[in-house]
Each structure stands twice: as structure tokens, then as C-alpha cells.
């Protein structure tokens, strides 16, 4: 049965759209997850690791304040010391004197290289070597060459006297910022070198900590900086040498000796420089590393596999959010998820001491919202277009709207088209309702009248004579036929595929006026039309357009009083022909003018002596005019008449 077929067709179509959305969601989810994996694996090649480094610096800057590590003291070569002791470099005898001031230090590490002889004071090397040996816990630095070919050691006499040796190379990252230590370095000559902080731990007796660093599989460690420049206890080299501090100031403390003065150039940017752009001296960086080593307080950088796993979780979550929430809520949830990732990243870094680069997650989450709504809108709009194309086979008005659109359109244009299609379908629904009212009321009324006449004739009450009966039946039958004809004309005008040809519009108006002359003459109404001297060519379907103008002029005659005039004028303007049909009839009230072109609406249906009509004529006229790409408007005043203005495009001029 047709009704059951139509009912059963709706769910599969809705289900098809749901399935298409699910397919698109799965496809988008897979693409986003795969993109996340690729961004994590190739973050260095794609340069997004620079964003990770920036986020890392920001997270480090947002760390909670860290107490000063009292186990470490810095003896610095500051501007005051340079002024006091003279230009750099100083005699090595001065360093020997400094060691004598630090007898109870747990270990003393020098961030000063001693690779070259000093011919001016050759005896100072022996003095310094004796001081190193006497102290017993001093550590000297070595420098590994940039090509890792070999290491530059201190002078042999000094290297032999020192308790330990360790390299002090600092390796800034590509952006010039120091974020990590290299705990061991292998040179091409087969040597394996420990870092200065490992050497200091051995010299200070913390061999367990030193062995952990030496045997750790992680060759590099991220540095959780304790604070900004100047965080550790700092003492002036000259002041210590002069004995301004009591001996127990450095008792059981690791002492690092290094440059502090800006003129010595031993300063590097660190994550803590993010806000005030201040650099940190090399000796301070060593102090941070030494403090971290004592507390086992390093930041572990996750392996790429764990980073991928942690990055995929929020990506899948945002995909679920986009599928289940409205665009507004999905946007809010997406922004909230980005903020949550940032907070979790901070907790991982500062609580668990784990760094998981989040940039891949951030980038993909920011891409997820536009990508998903692009694909979902494309799917929905494609489905809507398919539905409208299917409906166009049943509704010619929808088909004509589809044919008027270009095959490729922008999203706003397609949404506008969708709205137009909905309006057309709404109009079609309204038209169906009007048709049902027409059939149930207007078509049934004359048939009921015929049945009433027959019933009355069969009764013995007041039978009519045969001629009177036949006259009444004929009247009602003609009324029914007229209603059917008008209804079919309107349906034909809406549905038929019109064939257009070039015609002279003036010829049509002349024919219509001639055909209406007899009806107008009966009422004493004159129909005037001044035919233009030159033909006015338009593209039109002549029978349909002629019928439309015949309806307009016929209405003007029907609703005009006797001995009045109906005026028809024609002129061209701006590529269009303008036809005005003006009468001196009843006029139409303003409140009824808005619906005058709708089917089954009549302006004077309730008035006495209203001419017979179906309420379809003006709807037919408007449909035909619109099918000709034209417009029709009404100007009317009650008691003064009405003017219908029709505008049609002129035919293009052919050369």
C-alpha cells in the first residue's frame, strides 16, 4: 500500500544519515589519532619541539617556590673581587689561599679551567697543587672538545693533586636555552668522562649517589631549576679570601667556585629566564645540578611511546565530545580540555617529575573542532541535497530551485538553499492542506446541493418542476466543473514543464482585451489598451501567460461597477516590461492584501452580491508570473479600485 511504503521509507533515510555521521566520525577520529602519532614521532623534524620547549619553560616558571639548598655554597668571582684582586686571570696562588679558607668544606669544585701554564709565576702551579693535595676533596674541571675527539685536562701536576676530575661542558638546546645536563660523555679516543657534579659527589663521600649517576641509562637529565639567578647562597671570592666569614660557614657544604661577573661571559639563558630575560651563570647551573643529584630530584622525559599514549587519550576524548555535544558546548568542552591538559602537564612536571611534551595534543585538539564540523556539515548538507533531489521528482518547485543553483556552492549558500528548500516543502504542506479544505468544502458544497434537490424532488413536500430542477442541477454541476478546471489550471501551472518562445507581449494583451470586450460591454465597462508602436519581445509560454492576463482583466471587470473603465498600460524600464491593469472597482482592504495571491483566499467572500469565484484565479496568476521570472504587486484602496503591476524580463537582444 502506498501509505505504508512512505512511512517505511523515513526511518531508513534518517538511519542512513546517522550511519554517515558515524562513518565520518570514525574516519576523523582515526585521522586525528594518526596525526597525533606522527606529530609526536616527528616533532623535531617538524619543529614543533620548539613549542614544547616554550611550554616547558612556562611550566618551570610557574613552579612553586623552592627552599634554598643550604648544603651548597657559591664562592663567586664578582665585580668586587675583580676590583679587589685585580684583572682576571688571577695567580693560582690565590686559589691555593682560597682552599686554605675552606678546610671543612665537604668538597670544593672549581668552575675555572687550569689547562695552560703561567710563565710569569711558574711556582704557583706547585703551590696550588700542594693546596689541592692538602685539602683532599677538591675537584677540577676538564673540557670535552666540541667534536668529542678528546678532552682537555688540567695541567698534569694539578690533575694529579685533585681528588676528582669532571667535565663542565654545557650544551644549550637549539634555541640557546640550557635545560638539561649530560651526565657522561664518551670521546673518540675511548675515554669515558664523568660530569663535575658526579666528581663532587665522589669527593664529598656520596659515592652511592655518584654511582647512580654514573651507571644511569639516561645520559641526559632535565634540570628542575630551584629558582632564578641568585637563588643559592653566594659569597664574594675576595671576602672569603680576606676571612670575612667564620670557618664554619662552609662546614660540610659543597662549595662551587666560579665566575659571577658579567665581564667574564660565563652566563646562559635558562627556563627561569622566561620572564625577566636574566641569564644564569655556569656555576649556578652546576649548583642546580648538584642540588638535584643530592635530592634525586631530576625531571624524567618520557619515551616517545608513553608520550604517544598520553597524547592519544585526550584526542579520543575530544572526538567523543564533538560527536555527542552541540557545537557551543563542544567548543567550551574543547577549550576546557586544553586547559585541563595544561594543568595535568604542570602536575606531572612538578609533582611526578615527569615531562610529557603536550604540543602534539594541543595542535590536534585545536584542529579537531574545525575538521569535525567541516566533515559533519558536509555530510549533513550532502544528505539534505540528496533528499531535496529525491523530493524534486515529486515537487517541481523544489526541482526548479535545485536547477537554479550551481553544482558547487559555499556553505552559507548551501545553508540558504536548505532554508529555501524547507520553505518550499512548508509551502507544499500548506498547499496540500488547502487542497484538502477545497475538496472537503468547495467541491462538496455543489454536490450536496444537487443531492438536496434530488431528496426534495423525491419528497411530496414541494417538488420543483422539471425545467427548474434541471436548471439548478446544471448550475451546481457547472460550478463543480469550474472549480475543478481552476484547480487543475493551478496544478498545471505549478507542475508543467513550460516551453518558452519569443513573443510580442502587446499581441497577448490585445487578444485578451478583445476577448473580454463582450463581458465588459454588458456592464458598460470600457477596456482600454494603447498598443505600443514597437513590438515588445519577451520569452514566454503564450497560453499560460495569456490565461494569467485574462484572469486579471476578467477580475477587474467582475469587481467594477457599471459604466467604469479598466485601463491597461505597457512600458519598458531597465530591461523589463511593466504592465499595469487598473480598475475603478471595489478595492481590497489592506488586511486582506497580504493573502490575496494565496489559493482559496478571496477578498470579498463574505460580502453580499459577491461575484462567483473559486479563490484560485490570482494564485494561478502569481504562479505563472513567477514561472516567467516575473513579479506581481498590488496597490488597492477600498472604494477606489485596484492596480495590479506585472514586471517581466525582456528577451535578450540577438545581433
C-alpha distances out from residue 198 to 85, 167, 422, 485, 508, Å: 31, 10, 77, 106, 107
Q: How far is Cα 156 from Cα 117, in angstroms, rounded to an integer?
A: 11
H-only helix segments in 496-616: 505-522, 542-558, 590-593
H-only helix segments in 502-581: 505-522, 542-558
Q: How far is Cα 511 from Cα 494, in angstroms, rounded to an integer?
A: 24
Averaged over successive runs of 10 residues, the pLDDT of the chain (655 residues) comes to 41 71 93 95 90 91 86 93 88 94 95 88 93 95 93 94 94 90 91 94 94 87 87 94 91 93 78 73 93 90 91 95 91 94 92 92 94 85 71 61 54 63 68 62 66 72 71 70 62 67 90 86 88 88 85 85 89 90 85 71 54 66 85 86 90 68
Residue 80 three-state SS: helix
Q: Which three cell numbers stand for residue 582?
A: 487598473
Q: How far is Cα 543 from Cα 499, in angstroms, rounded to an integer?
A: 10
Q: How far is Cα 307 from Cα 315, in angstroms, rounded to an integer?
A: 13
Give CATH for domain 498-655: 3.30.565.10
Q: How far is Cα 469 from Cα 453, in angstroms, rounded to an integer?
A: 7
C-alpha distances out from residue 5 to 2, 420, 443, 468, Å: 5, 27, 29, 50
Residue 220 three-state SS: strand
**β-strand 107-110 against 180-182: which pairing, if any?**
unpaired
**Exposed (0-12), middle (13-18) or buried (19+): which is 565, by Cβ within 10 Å?**
middle
The DSSP code for 649 is: E
State the pLDDT at residue 4.
Answer: 40
Q: How far is Cα 445 from Cα 439, in angstroms, rounded to an integer?
A: 9
State the pLDDT at residue 148.
Answer: 92
Give the architecture-level CATH label for domain 393-497. Answer: Orthogonal Bundle (1.10)
Q: Which three cell numbers stand for residue 614?
A: 473559486
In the chain, ranges of CATH 1.10.287 domains = 393-497
Between CA 469 and CA 481, with CA 475 as vertex, the angle to 5 degrees is 135
User: Are 487 and 614 within 8 A, CB to CB?
Assistant: yes
State the pLDDT at residue 477.
Answer: 72
Q: How far is Cα 224 from Cα 69, in angstroms, rounded to an integer?
A: 13
**β-strand 180-182 against 184-186: which pairing, if any?**
unpaired
C-alpha distances out from residue 639 to 30, 586, 610, Å: 73, 5, 15
Strand partners, 186: 192
Q: Which three cell numbers stand for residue 552?
A: 486579471
Q: How far is Cα 601 from Cα 574, in angstroms, rounded to an integer?
A: 33
In the chain, ranges of CATH 3.30.565.10 domains = 498-655
User: Are 604 and 612 within 8 A, CB to CB?
Assistant: no
Number of H helices, E strands in the chain: 21, 22
User: Are 415 and 405 within 8 A, CB to CB?
Assistant: no
pTM over 0.85: no
State the pLDDT at residue 10.
Answer: 43
Helix axes 411-437, 396-403, angle to 10 degrees: 160
Amino acid at each position: 500500500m502506498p501509505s505504508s511504503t512512505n512511512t517505511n521509507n523515513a526511518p531508513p533515510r534518517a538511519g542512513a544519515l546517522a550511519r554517515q555521521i558515524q562513518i565520518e566520525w570514525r574516519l576523523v577520529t582515526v585521522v586525528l589519532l594518526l596525526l597525533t602519532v606522527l606529530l609526536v614521532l616527528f616533532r623535531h623534524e617538524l619543529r614543533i619541539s620548539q613549542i614544547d620547549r616554550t611550554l616547558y619553560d612556562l611550566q618551570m616558571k610557574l613552579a612553586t617556590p623552592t627552599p634554598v639548598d643550604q648544603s651548597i655554597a657559591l664562592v663567586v668571582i664578582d665585580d668586587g673581587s675583580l676590583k679587589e684582586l685585580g684583572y682576571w686571570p688571577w695567580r693560582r696562588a690565590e686559589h691555593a689561599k682560597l682552599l686554605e679558607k675552606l678546610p671543612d668544606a665537604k668538597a670544593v669544585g672549581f668552575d675555572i679551567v687550569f689547562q695552560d701554564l703561567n710563565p710569569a709565576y711558574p711556582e704557583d702551579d706547585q703551590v696550588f697543587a700542594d693546596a689541592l693535595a692538602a685539602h683532599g676533596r677538591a675537584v677540577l674541571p676538564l673540557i670535552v672538545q666540541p667534536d668529542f675527539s678528546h678532552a682537555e685536562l688540567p695541567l698534569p701536576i694539578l690533575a694529579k693533586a685533585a681528588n676528582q676530575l669532571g667535565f663542565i661542558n654545557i650544551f644549550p638546546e637549539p634555541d640557546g636555552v640550557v635545560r638539561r645536563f649530560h651526565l657522561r660523555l664518551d670521546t673518540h679516543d675511548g675515554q669515558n668522562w664523568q660530569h663535575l657534579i658526579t666528581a663532587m659527589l665522589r669527593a664529598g663521600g656520596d659515592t652511592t649517589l655518584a654511582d647512580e649517576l654514573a651507571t644511569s641509562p639516561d645520559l641526559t637529565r632535565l634540570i628542575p631549576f630551584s629558582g632564578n639567578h641568585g637563588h643559592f647562597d653566594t659569597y664574594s671570592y675576595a671576602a672569603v679570601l680576606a676571612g670575612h666569614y667564620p670557618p664554619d660557614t662552609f662546614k660540610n657544604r659543597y662549595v662551587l667556585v666560579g665566575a659571577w661577573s658579567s665581564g667574564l661571559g660565563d652566563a646562559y639563558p635558562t627556563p627561569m629566564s622566561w620572564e625577566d630575560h636574566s641569564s644564569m651563570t655556569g656555576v649556578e647551573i652546576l649548583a642546580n645540578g648538584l642540588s638535584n643529584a643530592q635530592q634525586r630530584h631530576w625531571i624524567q622525559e618520557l619515551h616517545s611511546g608513553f608520550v604517544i599514549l598520553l597524547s592519544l587519550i585526550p584526542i579520543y576524548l575530544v572526538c567523543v565530545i564533538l560527536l555527542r555535544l552541540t557545537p557551543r558546548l563542544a567548543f567550551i568542552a574543547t577549550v576546557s580540555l586544553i586547559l585541563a591538559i595544561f594543568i595535568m602537564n604542570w602536575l606531572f612536571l612538578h609533582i611526578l617529575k615527569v615531562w610529557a611534551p603536550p604540543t602534539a595534543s594541543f595542535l590536534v585538539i585545536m584542529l579537531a573542532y574545525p575538521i569535525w564540523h567541516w566533515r559533519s556539515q558536509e555530510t549533513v548538507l550532502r544528505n539534505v541535497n540528496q533528499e531535496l533531489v529525491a523530493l524534486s521528482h515529486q515537487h517541481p518547485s523544489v526541482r526548479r530551485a535545485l536547477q537554479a543553483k550551481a553544482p558547487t556552492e559555499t556553505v552559507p549558500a548551501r545553508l540558504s538553499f536548505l532554508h529555501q528548500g524547507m520553505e518550499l516543502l512548508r509551502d507544499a504542506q500548506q498547499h496540500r492542506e488547502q487542497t484538502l479544505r477545497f475538496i472537503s468544502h468547495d467541491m462538496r458544497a455543489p454536490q450536496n446541493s444537487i443531492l438536496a434537490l434530488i431528496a426534495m424532488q423525491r419528497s411530496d413536500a414541494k417538488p420543483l418542476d422539471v425545467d427548474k430542477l434541471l436548471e439548478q442541477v446544471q448550475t451546481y454541476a457547472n460550478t463543480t466543473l469550474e472549480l475543478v478546471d481552476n484547480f487543475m489550471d493551478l496544478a498545471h501551472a505549478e507542475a508543467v514543464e513550460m516551453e518558452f518562445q519569443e513573443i510580442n507581449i502587446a499581441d497577448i494583451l490585445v487578444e485578451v482585451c478583445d476577448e473580454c470586450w463582450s463581458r465588459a460591454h454588458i456592464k458598460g465597462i470600457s477596456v482600454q489598451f494603447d498598443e505600443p508602436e514597437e513590438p515588445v519581445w519577451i520569452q514566454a509560454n503564450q497560453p499560460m501567460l495569456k490565461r494569467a492576463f485574462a484572469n486579471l482583466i476578467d477580475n477587474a471587470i467582475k469587481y467594477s461597477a457599471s459604466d467604469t473603465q479598466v485601463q491597461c498600460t505597457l512600458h519598458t524600464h531597465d530591461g523589463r516590461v511593466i504592465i499595469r491593469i487598473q480598475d475603478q472597482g471595489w478595492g481590497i482592504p489592506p488586511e486582506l492584501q497580504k493573502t490575496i495571491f494565496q489559493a482559496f483566499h478571496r477578498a470579498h467572500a463574505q460580502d453580499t452580491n459577491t461575484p462567483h469565484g473559486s479563490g484560485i484565479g490570482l494564485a494561478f496568476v502569481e504562479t505563472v508570473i513567477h514561472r516567467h521570472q516575473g513579479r506581481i504587486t498590488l496597490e488597492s484602496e477600498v472604494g477606489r479600485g485596484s492596480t495590479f503591476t506585472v514586471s517581466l524580463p525582456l528577451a535578450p537582444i540577438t545581433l
